[in-house]
Structure 1
Protein backbone atom coordinates (compact mmCIF):
# COMPACT_ATOMS: atom_id res chain seq x y z
CA UNK A 1 0.00 0.00 0.00
CA UNK A 2 1.47 3.28 -1.07
CA UNK A 3 -0.72 5.91 0.64
CA UNK A 4 -1.17 6.68 4.31
CA UNK A 5 -4.66 8.22 4.19
CA UNK A 6 -7.95 7.89 2.31
CA UNK A 7 -7.34 8.24 -1.43
CA UNK A 8 -8.69 7.06 -4.74
CA UNK A 9 -7.06 6.53 -8.14
CA UNK A 10 -8.31 5.20 -11.46
CA UNK A 11 -5.48 3.84 -13.61
CA UNK A 12 -6.11 2.64 -17.17
CA UNK A 13 -4.14 1.03 -19.95
CA UNK A 14 -5.48 0.50 -23.45
CA UNK A 15 -3.44 0.14 -26.63
CA UNK A 16 -1.82 -2.38 -28.93
CA UNK A 17 1.72 -3.70 -28.82
CA UNK A 18 4.17 -4.83 -26.16
CA UNK A 19 4.73 -1.28 -24.92
CA UNK A 20 1.08 -1.06 -23.79
CA UNK A 21 1.30 -4.23 -21.77
CA UNK A 22 4.60 -3.16 -20.24
CA UNK A 23 2.77 -0.06 -19.02
CA UNK A 24 0.14 -2.33 -17.47
CA UNK A 25 2.80 -4.47 -15.79
CA UNK A 26 4.27 -1.33 -14.27
CA UNK A 27 0.83 -0.25 -13.02
CA UNK A 28 0.08 -3.53 -11.26
CA UNK A 29 3.58 -3.71 -9.81
CA UNK A 30 3.26 -0.24 -8.34
CA UNK A 31 -0.27 -0.91 -7.06
CA UNK A 32 0.39 -4.30 -5.45
CA UNK A 33 3.96 -5.67 -5.32
CA UNK A 34 6.62 -6.09 -8.05
CA UNK A 35 5.25 -8.59 -10.58
CA UNK A 36 5.93 -10.00 -14.02
CA UNK A 37 3.05 -10.58 -16.43
CA UNK A 38 2.25 -11.71 -19.97
CA UNK A 39 -1.01 -11.26 -21.93
CA UNK A 40 -2.96 -14.33 -23.06
CA UNK A 41 -3.80 -13.02 -26.56
CA UNK A 42 -2.26 -10.80 -29.24
CA UNK A 43 -5.29 -8.51 -29.47
CA UNK A 44 -5.09 -4.91 -28.19
CA UNK A 45 -4.91 -5.02 -24.42
CA UNK A 46 -7.11 -3.09 -22.04
CA UNK A 47 -7.07 -2.96 -18.25
CA UNK A 48 -8.28 -0.70 -15.48
CA UNK A 49 -7.45 -0.40 -11.78
CA UNK A 50 -9.65 1.51 -9.36
CA UNK A 51 -7.65 1.86 -6.16
CA UNK A 52 -9.23 3.03 -2.89
CA UNK A 53 -6.69 3.28 -0.06
CA UNK A 54 -7.55 3.68 3.62
CA UNK A 55 -5.11 3.54 6.55
CA UNK A 56 -6.37 0.05 7.42
CA UNK A 57 -6.78 -1.50 3.97
CA UNK A 58 -6.22 -1.06 0.24
CA UNK A 59 -9.02 -2.07 -2.14
CA UNK A 60 -8.35 -2.45 -5.85
CA UNK A 61 -11.00 -3.27 -8.45
CA UNK A 62 -9.32 -4.88 -11.46
CA UNK A 63 -11.01 -5.09 -14.87
CA UNK A 64 -8.78 -6.51 -17.54
CA UNK A 65 -8.22 -8.71 -20.53
CA UNK A 66 -6.59 -12.09 -19.90
CA UNK A 67 -3.08 -12.37 -18.49
CA UNK A 68 -0.77 -14.56 -16.43
CA UNK A 69 0.87 -12.80 -13.48
CA UNK A 70 3.81 -14.10 -11.41
CA UNK A 71 5.55 -13.10 -8.21
CA UNK A 72 8.99 -14.69 -8.57
CA UNK A 73 11.76 -15.43 -6.08
CA UNK A 74 13.95 -12.89 -7.83
CA UNK A 75 11.35 -10.16 -7.42
CA UNK A 76 10.81 -11.10 -3.77
CA UNK A 77 14.55 -10.91 -3.09
CA UNK A 78 14.69 -7.42 -4.55
CA UNK A 79 11.79 -5.96 -2.56
CA UNK A 80 10.64 -5.66 1.04
CA UNK A 81 6.85 -5.91 0.61
CA UNK A 82 5.16 -7.99 3.31
CA UNK A 83 1.47 -8.20 2.44
CA UNK A 84 -1.34 -10.68 2.50
CA UNK A 85 -3.64 -10.24 -0.47
CA UNK A 86 -7.10 -11.62 -1.10
CA UNK A 87 -8.68 -11.90 -4.54
CA UNK A 88 -12.48 -11.81 -4.62
CA UNK A 89 -13.72 -12.80 -8.06
CA UNK A 90 -16.46 -10.55 -9.45
CA UNK A 91 -16.56 -11.71 -13.06
CA UNK A 92 -14.88 -14.29 -15.28
CA UNK A 93 -12.67 -17.06 -13.93
CA UNK A 94 -9.21 -17.17 -12.40
CA UNK A 95 -6.71 -19.51 -10.78
CA UNK A 96 -4.30 -18.74 -7.96
CA UNK A 97 -1.29 -21.00 -7.38
CA UNK A 98 0.86 -20.87 -4.25
CA UNK A 99 2.48 -23.31 -1.81
CA UNK A 100 1.65 -26.32 -4.00
CA UNK A 101 -2.10 -25.60 -4.18
CA UNK A 102 -4.40 -24.15 -6.83
CA UNK A 103 -7.58 -22.22 -6.01
CA UNK A 104 -10.11 -21.89 -8.83
CA UNK A 105 -12.05 -18.64 -8.57
CA UNK A 106 -15.55 -18.20 -9.96
CA UNK A 107 -17.70 -15.12 -9.24
CA UNK A 108 -18.25 -14.71 -5.50
CA UNK A 109 -15.31 -16.90 -4.44
CA UNK A 110 -12.15 -15.66 -2.78
CA UNK A 111 -8.67 -16.82 -1.84
CA UNK A 112 -5.53 -15.52 -0.10
CA UNK A 113 -1.92 -15.30 -1.29
CA UNK A 114 1.26 -14.11 0.41
CA UNK A 115 3.66 -11.57 -1.11
CA UNK A 116 6.66 -13.12 0.69
CA UNK A 117 6.51 -16.36 -1.36
CA UNK A 118 6.18 -17.02 -5.10
CA UNK A 119 2.68 -17.17 -6.57
CA UNK A 120 1.02 -17.19 -9.98
CA UNK A 121 -2.34 -15.74 -11.05
CA UNK A 122 -3.95 -17.12 -14.22
CA UNK A 123 -6.72 -15.31 -16.09
CA UNK A 124 -7.21 -16.93 -19.48
CA UNK A 125 -9.92 -14.48 -20.57
CA UNK A 126 -11.33 -11.11 -19.54
CA UNK A 127 -12.09 -10.90 -15.83
CA UNK A 128 -13.06 -8.63 -12.96
CA UNK A 129 -12.00 -8.99 -9.36
CA UNK A 130 -11.54 -7.10 -6.13
CA UNK A 131 -8.13 -7.35 -4.44
CA UNK A 132 -7.92 -6.59 -0.72
CA UNK A 133 -4.42 -5.91 0.58
CA UNK A 134 -3.25 -5.59 4.19
CA UNK A 135 0.08 -5.88 6.04
CA UNK A 136 0.72 -9.59 6.54
CA UNK A 137 1.96 -10.04 10.09
CA UNK A 138 -0.78 -8.09 11.96
CA UNK A 139 -3.47 -9.88 9.96
CA UNK A 140 -2.07 -13.35 10.67
CA UNK A 141 -1.75 -12.43 14.34
CA UNK A 142 -5.35 -11.22 14.47
CA UNK A 143 -6.52 -14.48 12.92
CA UNK A 144 -4.49 -16.54 15.39
CA UNK A 145 -2.84 -18.63 12.67
CA UNK A 146 0.87 -19.57 12.39
CA UNK A 147 3.15 -16.75 11.28
CA UNK A 148 4.09 -18.29 7.94
CA UNK A 149 0.42 -18.76 6.88
CA UNK A 150 1.60 -21.45 4.47
CA UNK A 151 -1.42 -23.69 5.02
CA UNK A 152 -4.08 -21.10 4.15
CA UNK A 153 -2.93 -19.70 0.79
CA UNK A 154 -4.61 -20.75 -2.47
CA UNK A 155 -7.57 -22.22 -0.57
CA UNK A 156 -10.81 -21.25 -2.30
CA UNK A 157 -13.66 -19.99 -0.13
CA UNK A 158 -16.57 -20.68 -2.42
CA UNK A 159 -19.36 -18.36 -3.54
CA UNK A 160 -22.27 -18.25 -1.13
CA UNK A 161 -19.92 -18.27 1.87
CA UNK A 162 -17.45 -15.75 3.28
CA UNK A 163 -16.25 -14.77 -0.18
CA UNK A 164 -19.69 -13.48 -1.15
CA UNK A 165 -20.08 -11.65 2.15
CA UNK A 166 -16.71 -9.95 1.85
CA UNK A 167 -17.27 -9.12 -1.81
CA UNK A 168 -20.44 -7.29 -0.84
CA UNK A 169 -18.83 -5.49 2.08
CA UNK A 170 -15.66 -4.39 0.31
CA UNK A 171 -17.39 -3.47 -2.97
CA UNK A 172 -19.86 -1.37 -1.00
CA UNK A 173 -16.99 0.19 0.95
CA UNK A 174 -15.40 1.32 -2.31
CA UNK A 175 -18.70 2.85 -3.45
CA UNK A 176 -19.33 4.57 -0.12
CA UNK A 177 -15.94 6.26 -0.52
CA UNK A 178 -17.36 8.17 -3.51
CA UNK A 179 -20.31 9.58 -1.55
CA UNK A 180 -19.03 9.75 2.01
CA UNK A 181 -15.24 9.42 2.47
CA UNK A 182 -15.49 9.96 6.24
CA UNK A 183 -18.09 7.21 6.55
CA UNK A 184 -16.02 4.87 4.39
CA UNK A 185 -13.00 5.55 6.57
CA UNK A 186 -15.01 4.56 9.64
CA UNK A 187 -16.25 1.35 8.00
CA UNK A 188 -12.78 0.43 6.76
CA UNK A 189 -11.66 -0.06 10.36
CA UNK A 190 -13.65 -3.34 10.33
CA UNK A 191 -11.71 -4.75 7.37
CA UNK A 192 -8.91 -6.49 9.32
CA UNK A 193 -11.37 -8.29 11.65
CA UNK A 194 -13.51 -9.47 8.73
CA UNK A 195 -10.50 -10.77 6.82
CA UNK A 196 -9.15 -12.44 9.96
CA UNK A 197 -12.42 -14.37 10.20
CA UNK A 198 -12.06 -15.52 6.61
CA UNK A 199 -8.45 -16.53 7.27
CA UNK A 200 -9.55 -18.78 10.12
CA UNK A 201 -12.00 -20.47 7.79
CA UNK A 202 -9.32 -20.90 5.11
CA UNK A 203 -7.09 -22.44 7.78
CA UNK A 204 -9.85 -24.89 8.72
CA UNK A 205 -10.19 -23.53 12.25
CA UNK A 206 -13.92 -22.90 12.14
CA UNK A 207 -15.71 -19.96 13.66
CA UNK A 208 -13.89 -17.39 15.74
CA UNK A 209 -15.07 -14.58 18.01
CA UNK A 210 -15.28 -12.06 15.16
CA UNK A 211 -17.18 -14.29 12.72
CA UNK A 212 -20.54 -12.78 13.69
CA UNK A 213 -19.30 -9.82 11.64
CA UNK A 214 -19.27 -11.99 8.53
CA UNK A 215 -22.82 -13.17 9.15
CA UNK A 216 -23.98 -9.61 9.79
CA UNK A 217 -22.37 -8.37 6.59
CA UNK A 218 -24.05 -11.21 4.73
CA UNK A 219 -27.40 -10.01 6.03
CA UNK A 220 -26.63 -6.38 5.13
CA UNK A 221 -25.58 -7.45 1.63
CA UNK A 222 -28.93 -9.24 1.26
CA UNK A 223 -30.75 -6.09 2.37
CA UNK A 224 -28.88 -4.04 -0.23
CA UNK A 225 -29.74 -6.49 -3.01
CA UNK A 226 -33.43 -6.84 -2.13
CA UNK A 227 -34.34 -3.51 -0.53
CA UNK A 228 -36.81 -2.80 -3.34
CA UNK A 229 -38.96 -5.79 -2.35
CA UNK A 230 -41.86 -4.40 -0.23
CA UNK A 231 -42.39 -7.85 1.31
CA UNK A 232 -38.85 -8.14 2.65
CA UNK A 233 -39.07 -8.83 6.38
CA UNK A 234 -37.18 -10.65 9.14
CA UNK A 235 -38.58 -14.06 8.15
CA UNK A 236 -37.56 -13.62 4.50
CA UNK A 237 -34.07 -12.40 5.46
CA UNK A 238 -33.52 -15.23 7.95
CA UNK A 239 -34.56 -17.85 5.39
CA UNK A 240 -32.41 -16.38 2.62
CA UNK A 241 -29.37 -16.14 4.90
CA UNK A 242 -29.86 -19.60 6.46
CA UNK A 243 -30.39 -18.22 9.97
CA UNK A 244 -33.04 -18.66 12.61
CA UNK A 245 -34.98 -15.55 13.60
CA UNK A 246 -33.26 -15.65 16.98
CA UNK A 247 -29.79 -15.86 15.42
CA UNK A 248 -30.68 -13.07 13.00
CA UNK A 249 -31.75 -10.64 15.71
CA UNK A 250 -28.75 -11.60 17.87
CA UNK A 251 -26.46 -10.28 15.11
CA UNK A 252 -27.89 -6.81 15.65
CA UNK A 253 -27.93 -6.73 19.45
CA UNK A 254 -26.30 -3.55 20.75
CA UNK A 255 -26.23 -2.15 17.21
CA UNK A 256 -28.56 -0.63 14.67
CA UNK A 257 -31.64 -2.88 14.54
CA UNK A 258 -32.53 -4.98 11.51
CA UNK A 259 -35.58 -2.82 10.83
CA UNK A 260 -33.52 0.37 11.04
CA UNK A 261 -30.86 -1.08 8.74
CA UNK A 262 -33.49 -1.96 6.14
CA UNK A 263 -35.09 1.49 6.41
CA UNK A 264 -31.71 3.21 6.07
CA UNK A 265 -30.78 1.06 3.06
CA UNK A 266 -34.06 1.92 1.32
CA UNK A 267 -33.67 5.62 2.08
CA UNK A 268 -30.08 5.67 0.79
CA UNK A 269 -31.22 4.08 -2.47
CA UNK A 270 -34.12 6.53 -2.70
CA UNK A 271 -31.78 9.48 -2.13
CA UNK A 272 -29.67 8.34 -5.08
CA UNK A 273 -32.71 7.88 -7.34
CA UNK A 274 -34.11 11.30 -6.46
CA UNK A 275 -30.91 12.88 -7.75
CA UNK A 276 -30.29 10.53 -10.68
CA UNK A 277 -33.89 10.80 -11.96
CA UNK A 278 -34.98 14.38 -11.13
CA UNK A 279 -38.23 14.15 -13.16
CA UNK A 280 -39.44 10.91 -11.61
CA UNK A 281 -42.37 11.41 -9.21
CA UNK A 282 -41.42 11.16 -5.55
CA UNK A 283 -44.09 8.50 -4.91
CA UNK A 284 -42.67 6.36 -7.72
CA UNK A 285 -39.19 6.56 -6.18
CA UNK A 286 -40.56 5.41 -2.83
CA UNK A 287 -42.35 2.44 -4.41
CA UNK A 288 -39.22 1.43 -6.32
CA UNK A 289 -37.27 1.42 -3.05
CA UNK A 290 -39.66 -0.89 -1.21
CA UNK A 291 -41.88 1.55 0.70
CA UNK A 292 -45.54 0.56 0.99
CA UNK A 293 -46.87 4.06 0.43
CA UNK A 294 -45.94 7.70 -0.01
CA UNK A 295 -46.66 8.58 3.62
CA UNK A 296 -44.39 5.80 4.89
CA UNK A 297 -41.68 6.91 2.45
CA UNK A 298 -41.82 10.56 3.60
CA UNK A 299 -41.75 9.56 7.27
CA UNK A 300 -38.80 7.20 6.85
CA UNK A 301 -36.86 9.64 4.67
CA UNK A 302 -37.24 12.43 7.22
CA UNK A 303 -36.23 10.14 10.10
CA UNK A 304 -33.03 9.10 8.34
CA UNK A 305 -31.99 12.33 6.60
CA UNK A 306 -33.77 15.10 8.54
CA UNK A 307 -35.50 16.38 5.39
CA UNK A 308 -38.27 15.39 3.01
CA UNK A 309 -37.55 13.70 -0.34
CA UNK A 310 -38.49 16.91 -2.16
CA UNK A 311 -36.17 18.98 0.02
CA UNK A 312 -33.33 16.54 -0.63
CA UNK A 313 -33.88 16.71 -4.38
CA UNK A 314 -34.15 20.52 -4.40
CA UNK A 315 -31.12 20.97 -2.16
CA UNK A 316 -28.97 18.67 -4.28
CA UNK A 317 -29.83 20.36 -7.56
CA UNK A 318 -29.56 23.81 -6.00
CA UNK A 319 -25.87 23.42 -5.11
Structure 2
Protein backbone atom coordinates (compact mmCIF):
# COMPACT_ATOMS: atom_id res chain seq x y z
CA UNK A 1 0.00 0.00 0.00
CA UNK A 2 1.49 3.33 -1.06
CA UNK A 3 -1.10 5.77 0.21
CA UNK A 4 -0.24 8.66 2.50
CA UNK A 5 -3.07 10.70 3.94
CA UNK A 6 -2.62 14.07 5.61
CA UNK A 7 -5.14 16.10 7.63
CA UNK A 8 -5.00 19.25 9.75
CA UNK A 9 -7.51 20.32 12.41
CA UNK A 10 -7.64 23.35 14.70
CA UNK A 11 -9.99 24.46 17.46
CA UNK A 12 -10.06 27.84 15.72
CA UNK A 13 -12.24 26.21 13.05
CA UNK A 14 -15.19 26.37 15.46
CA UNK A 15 -16.51 28.81 18.04
CA UNK A 16 -14.92 29.11 21.48
CA UNK A 17 -17.89 27.40 23.16
CA UNK A 18 -17.46 24.29 20.97
CA UNK A 19 -13.65 24.22 20.88
CA UNK A 20 -13.02 21.47 23.43
CA UNK A 21 -15.87 19.21 22.28
CA UNK A 22 -14.53 19.52 18.73
CA UNK A 23 -11.01 18.75 19.97
CA UNK A 24 -12.24 15.67 21.85
CA UNK A 25 -13.86 14.29 18.71
CA UNK A 26 -10.69 14.85 16.69
CA UNK A 27 -8.49 13.13 19.30
CA UNK A 28 -10.79 10.09 19.49
CA UNK A 29 -10.90 9.81 15.69
CA UNK A 30 -7.12 10.15 15.41
CA UNK A 31 -6.00 7.83 18.21
CA UNK A 32 -8.45 5.66 20.18
CA UNK A 33 -11.62 6.32 22.15
CA UNK A 34 -10.94 8.37 25.30
CA UNK A 35 -12.74 10.59 27.79
CA UNK A 36 -11.33 14.13 27.97
CA UNK A 37 -11.58 17.03 30.38
CA UNK A 38 -10.13 20.53 29.83
CA UNK A 39 -7.81 22.14 32.34
CA UNK A 40 -8.87 25.22 34.33
CA UNK A 41 -8.21 28.76 33.30
CA UNK A 42 -7.86 30.17 29.81
CA UNK A 43 -10.05 29.39 26.81
CA UNK A 44 -9.02 26.13 25.20
CA UNK A 45 -6.95 26.09 22.02
CA UNK A 46 -5.55 23.10 20.16
CA UNK A 47 -4.32 22.03 16.76
CA UNK A 48 -3.30 18.70 15.33
CA UNK A 49 -1.65 17.61 12.10
CA UNK A 50 -1.99 13.93 11.23
CA UNK A 51 -0.74 11.64 8.51
CA UNK A 52 -0.92 7.92 7.86
CA UNK A 53 1.97 6.40 5.95
CA UNK A 54 1.51 2.76 4.93
CA UNK A 55 -0.56 2.00 8.01
CA UNK A 56 1.58 3.91 10.56
CA UNK A 57 -0.06 7.01 12.03
CA UNK A 58 1.81 10.20 12.92
CA UNK A 59 0.12 13.02 14.82
CA UNK A 60 1.77 16.24 15.94
CA UNK A 61 -0.43 18.14 18.35
CA UNK A 62 -0.21 21.34 20.38
CA UNK A 63 -2.87 22.26 22.90
CA UNK A 64 -3.76 23.61 26.30
CA UNK A 65 -4.11 21.82 29.61
CA UNK A 66 -6.28 18.70 29.61
CA UNK A 67 -6.77 15.24 31.08
CA UNK A 68 -7.23 12.17 28.87
CA UNK A 69 -8.47 8.78 30.07
CA UNK A 70 -8.91 5.50 28.23
CA UNK A 71 -11.37 3.45 30.24
CA UNK A 72 -12.32 -0.24 30.32
CA UNK A 73 -15.72 0.65 28.93
CA UNK A 74 -14.18 2.37 25.92
CA UNK A 75 -11.76 -0.51 25.38
CA UNK A 76 -14.69 -2.95 25.32
CA UNK A 77 -16.47 -0.75 22.77
CA UNK A 78 -13.42 -0.15 20.57
CA UNK A 79 -11.05 -3.10 20.37
CA UNK A 80 -8.30 -1.38 18.38
CA UNK A 81 -4.98 -2.96 19.37
CA UNK A 82 -2.25 -0.37 18.88
CA UNK A 83 0.84 0.99 20.54
CA UNK A 84 0.99 4.76 21.02
CA UNK A 85 4.51 6.15 21.30
CA UNK A 86 4.16 9.58 22.94
CA UNK A 87 7.14 11.89 22.32
CA UNK A 88 7.11 15.08 24.35
CA UNK A 89 8.18 18.09 22.28
CA UNK A 90 7.23 20.97 24.59
CA UNK A 91 5.82 21.24 28.08
CA UNK A 92 5.32 18.25 30.38
CA UNK A 93 3.00 15.26 30.62
CA UNK A 94 2.15 12.53 33.09
CA UNK A 95 1.22 9.07 31.76
CA UNK A 96 -0.15 6.37 34.06
CA UNK A 97 -0.90 2.77 33.08
CA UNK A 98 -0.72 -0.64 34.77
CA UNK A 99 -0.11 1.03 38.12
CA UNK A 100 3.00 2.76 36.77
CA UNK A 101 3.38 6.49 36.25
CA UNK A 102 5.99 8.48 34.34
CA UNK A 103 6.62 12.19 33.95
CA UNK A 104 7.61 13.26 30.45
CA UNK A 105 9.88 16.23 29.74
CA UNK A 106 10.78 17.47 26.24
CA UNK A 107 12.76 14.87 24.27
CA UNK A 108 11.39 11.92 26.27
CA UNK A 109 9.10 9.14 25.03
CA UNK A 110 6.64 6.82 26.75
CA UNK A 111 4.41 4.03 25.48
CA UNK A 112 0.68 3.56 25.97
CA UNK A 113 -1.03 0.26 25.18
CA UNK A 114 -4.52 0.82 23.77
CA UNK A 115 -5.74 -2.53 25.16
CA UNK A 116 -5.33 -1.36 28.78
CA UNK A 117 -6.73 1.66 30.64
CA UNK A 118 -4.45 4.67 30.93
CA UNK A 119 -4.52 8.36 31.77
CA UNK A 120 -2.56 11.25 30.29
CA UNK A 121 -2.46 14.60 32.04
CA UNK A 122 -1.14 17.95 30.79
CA UNK A 123 -1.23 20.78 33.33
CA UNK A 124 -0.19 23.51 30.88
CA UNK A 125 0.28 24.13 27.16
CA UNK A 126 2.25 21.38 25.45
CA UNK A 127 3.11 19.73 22.16
CA UNK A 128 3.67 16.06 21.38
CA UNK A 129 4.37 13.76 18.47
CA UNK A 130 2.40 10.53 18.78
CA UNK A 131 3.22 7.54 16.58
CA UNK A 132 0.46 4.93 16.29
CA UNK A 133 1.51 1.40 15.31
CA UNK A 134 -0.57 -1.81 15.16
CA UNK A 135 0.81 -4.04 17.91
CA UNK A 136 0.81 -7.02 15.52
CA UNK A 137 3.59 -5.27 13.59
CA UNK A 138 5.93 -5.17 16.57
CA UNK A 139 8.24 -7.78 18.03
CA UNK A 140 8.20 -8.20 21.82
CA UNK A 141 4.40 -7.87 21.93
CA UNK A 142 4.20 -9.79 25.19
CA UNK A 143 6.54 -7.41 27.03
CA UNK A 144 3.93 -4.67 26.73
CA UNK A 145 1.55 -6.44 29.10
CA UNK A 146 3.63 -5.64 32.18
CA UNK A 147 5.65 -2.60 31.18
CA UNK A 148 3.72 -0.01 29.28
CA UNK A 149 3.99 3.36 31.03
CA UNK A 150 7.77 3.27 30.88
CA UNK A 151 9.70 6.20 29.49
CA UNK A 152 12.87 6.30 27.46
CA UNK A 153 14.84 9.34 28.57
CA UNK A 154 16.20 12.22 26.56
CA UNK A 155 19.68 10.65 26.39
CA UNK A 156 21.15 7.27 25.54
CA UNK A 157 19.68 4.82 23.00
CA UNK A 158 16.15 6.10 23.59
CA UNK A 159 17.18 9.47 22.16
CA UNK A 160 18.20 7.78 18.89
CA UNK A 161 14.68 6.40 18.51
CA UNK A 162 13.09 9.76 19.37
CA UNK A 163 15.27 11.69 16.91
CA UNK A 164 14.58 9.17 14.13
CA UNK A 165 10.79 9.33 14.59
CA UNK A 166 10.72 13.14 14.80
CA UNK A 167 12.90 13.37 11.69
CA UNK A 168 10.79 10.83 9.81
CA UNK A 169 7.64 12.79 10.59
CA UNK A 170 9.21 15.95 9.15
CA UNK A 171 10.50 14.09 6.10
CA UNK A 172 6.99 13.01 5.12
CA UNK A 173 6.05 16.51 4.06
CA UNK A 174 9.18 17.08 1.98
CA UNK A 175 9.77 13.61 0.51
CA UNK A 176 7.04 10.99 1.15
CA UNK A 177 8.84 8.37 -0.97
CA UNK A 178 12.00 8.63 1.14
CA UNK A 179 9.93 8.52 4.33
CA UNK A 180 8.18 5.38 3.08
CA UNK A 181 11.53 3.72 2.42
CA UNK A 182 12.63 4.47 5.98
CA UNK A 183 9.37 3.39 7.60
CA UNK A 184 10.39 -0.26 8.24
CA UNK A 185 13.38 1.01 10.22
CA UNK A 186 11.02 3.07 12.39
CA UNK A 187 9.03 -0.08 13.20
CA UNK A 188 12.25 -1.95 14.00
CA UNK A 189 13.45 0.84 16.29
CA UNK A 190 10.12 0.95 18.09
CA UNK A 191 10.31 -2.81 18.57
CA UNK A 192 13.75 -2.44 20.14
CA UNK A 193 12.51 0.44 22.32
CA UNK A 194 9.59 -1.69 23.55
CA UNK A 195 12.12 -4.35 24.51
CA UNK A 196 14.15 -1.81 26.49
CA UNK A 197 11.00 -0.51 28.16
CA UNK A 198 10.28 -4.12 29.16
CA UNK A 199 13.57 -4.28 31.02
CA UNK A 200 16.03 -5.68 28.48
CA UNK A 201 19.48 -4.10 28.37
CA UNK A 202 19.81 -2.14 25.09
CA UNK A 203 23.06 -3.74 23.93
CA UNK A 204 21.94 -7.23 24.81
CA UNK A 205 18.54 -6.65 23.22
CA UNK A 206 20.10 -5.33 20.04
CA UNK A 207 22.36 -8.36 19.65
CA UNK A 208 19.61 -10.85 20.43
CA UNK A 209 17.09 -9.09 18.18
CA UNK A 210 19.29 -8.82 15.08
CA UNK A 211 18.04 -11.99 13.39
CA UNK A 212 14.45 -11.29 14.44
CA UNK A 213 14.49 -7.75 13.06
CA UNK A 214 16.00 -8.99 9.80
CA UNK A 215 13.28 -11.62 9.48
CA UNK A 216 10.48 -9.17 10.30
CA UNK A 217 11.82 -6.59 7.87
CA UNK A 218 12.04 -9.15 5.07
CA UNK A 219 8.53 -10.48 5.74
CA UNK A 220 7.00 -7.00 5.80
CA UNK A 221 8.86 -6.02 2.63
CA UNK A 222 7.74 -9.12 0.73
CA UNK A 223 4.29 -9.69 2.20
CA UNK A 224 2.60 -9.44 -1.22
CA UNK A 225 4.67 -12.34 -2.63
CA UNK A 226 2.37 -15.41 -2.74
CA UNK A 227 5.45 -17.64 -2.53
CA UNK A 228 6.55 -16.21 0.81
CA UNK A 229 7.29 -19.10 3.17
CA UNK A 230 9.99 -20.22 5.59
CA UNK A 231 12.37 -21.23 2.79
CA UNK A 232 11.95 -17.88 1.02
CA UNK A 233 12.44 -15.93 4.25
CA UNK A 234 15.52 -17.94 5.18
CA UNK A 235 17.06 -17.43 1.74
CA UNK A 236 16.23 -13.72 1.73
CA UNK A 237 17.76 -13.19 5.16
CA UNK A 238 20.80 -15.41 4.57
CA UNK A 239 19.99 -17.70 7.50
CA UNK A 240 18.68 -21.22 8.00
CA UNK A 241 14.99 -22.03 8.40
CA UNK A 242 15.74 -23.11 11.96
CA UNK A 243 17.08 -19.63 12.67
CA UNK A 244 13.90 -18.10 11.23
CA UNK A 245 11.75 -20.19 13.57
CA UNK A 246 13.97 -19.41 16.58
CA UNK A 247 13.94 -15.68 15.78
CA UNK A 248 10.14 -15.60 16.03
CA UNK A 249 9.82 -17.97 18.98
CA UNK A 250 10.26 -15.24 21.62
CA UNK A 251 7.19 -13.40 20.34
CA UNK A 252 5.15 -16.60 20.29
CA UNK A 253 3.88 -15.90 16.76
CA UNK A 254 4.56 -18.64 14.17
CA UNK A 255 5.75 -17.49 10.76
CA UNK A 256 2.53 -18.56 9.03
CA UNK A 257 0.45 -16.59 11.54
CA UNK A 258 2.69 -13.54 11.15
CA UNK A 259 2.35 -13.63 7.35
CA UNK A 260 -1.40 -14.15 7.49
CA UNK A 261 -1.87 -11.33 10.04
CA UNK A 262 0.15 -8.85 7.98
CA UNK A 263 -1.76 -9.77 4.82
CA UNK A 264 -5.09 -9.36 6.57
CA UNK A 265 -4.01 -5.93 7.86
CA UNK A 266 -2.94 -4.91 4.36
CA UNK A 267 -6.23 -6.18 2.92
CA UNK A 268 -8.19 -4.16 5.49
CA UNK A 269 -6.31 -0.98 4.57
CA UNK A 270 -6.80 -1.61 0.85
CA UNK A 271 -10.52 -2.24 1.23
CA UNK A 272 -10.85 0.93 3.33
CA UNK A 273 -8.87 3.07 0.88
CA UNK A 274 -10.30 1.50 -2.30
CA UNK A 275 -13.82 0.17 -1.62
CA UNK A 276 -14.44 -0.21 -5.36
CA UNK A 277 -11.81 -2.94 -5.77
CA UNK A 278 -13.02 -6.51 -6.07
CA UNK A 279 -12.18 -9.06 -3.39
CA UNK A 280 -10.21 -11.05 -5.95
CA UNK A 281 -8.06 -8.00 -6.76
CA UNK A 282 -7.43 -7.29 -3.08
CA UNK A 283 -6.49 -10.93 -2.46
CA UNK A 284 -4.05 -10.85 -5.36
CA UNK A 285 -2.45 -7.58 -4.22
CA UNK A 286 -1.98 -8.92 -0.69
CA UNK A 287 -0.34 -12.21 -1.69
CA UNK A 288 -3.27 -14.48 -0.85
CA UNK A 289 -3.78 -17.59 -2.95
CA UNK A 290 -7.42 -16.72 -3.59
CA UNK A 291 -10.53 -14.94 -2.33
CA UNK A 292 -11.31 -17.55 0.32
TM-score (norm 1): 0.61
Aligned to 1:238: none
User: Do residues 179 (structure 1) and 179 (structure 2) align?
Assistant: no
Alignment check: 8 A CA contact 1:56 1:191 kept: no
Out of 6, 15, 19, which is 1:8 matched to?
6
Q: How much does 1:210 deviate?
A: 7.0
Change (3 A) 1:163 1:18: farther
Q: How much does 1:4 deviate?
A: 7.6
Q: Distance in 2 between matches of 1:138 and 1:188?
A: 12
Aligned to 2:100: 101
Q: Distance in 2 between matches of 1:82 and 1:71?
A: 13
Aligned to 1:78: 77
Aligned to 1:205: 200
Aligned to 2:256: none
Q: Distance in 2 between matches of 1:84 and 1:35?
A: 15
Aligned to 1:52: 51
Q: Distance in 2 between matches of 1:53 and 1:194?
A: 18
Q: Distance in 1 between matches of 2:11 and 2:135?
A: 29
Q: Distance in 2 between matches of 1:59 and 1:202?
A: 21
Pairing of 1:81-160 with structure 2 (within 5 A): 81-139=80-138, 142-143=139-140, 145-146=141-142, 149-160=144-155
Change (3 A) 1:211 1:66: farther
Give SS of 2:145's match. Answer: coil
Alignment check: 8 A CA contact 1:97 1:121 kept: yes
Q: Distance in 1 between matches of 2:99 and 2:28?
A: 23
Q: Distance in 2 between matches of 1:210 and 1:129?
A: 31
Alignment check: 8 A CA contact 2:98 2:147 kept: no
Give SS of 1:134's match. Answer: strand
Give SS of 1:154's match. Answer: coil
Number of equivalenced pairs:
207
State the structure with more CA Rg: 1
Write the deviation string for residues 194-224 of structure 1: whole angstroms up to 9, x where unpaired: 00110111011123237999xxxxxxxxxxx
Alignment check: 8 A CA contact 1:40 1:67 kept: yes
Q: How much does 1:17 deviate?
A: 4.6
Change (3 A) 1:202 1:171: same
Alignment check: 8 A CA contact 1:92 1:126 kept: yes
Q: What CA RMSD, in Å, does the superposition of the two structures yield over aligned residues?
A: 2.2
Q: Distance in 2 between matches of 1:19 and 1:56?
A: 31
Q: Distance in 1 between matches of 2:71 and 2:196?
A: 27
Change (3 A) 1:209 1:79: same
Q: How much does 1:178 deviate?
A: 1.4
Pairing of 1:253-292 with structure 2 (within 5 A): none
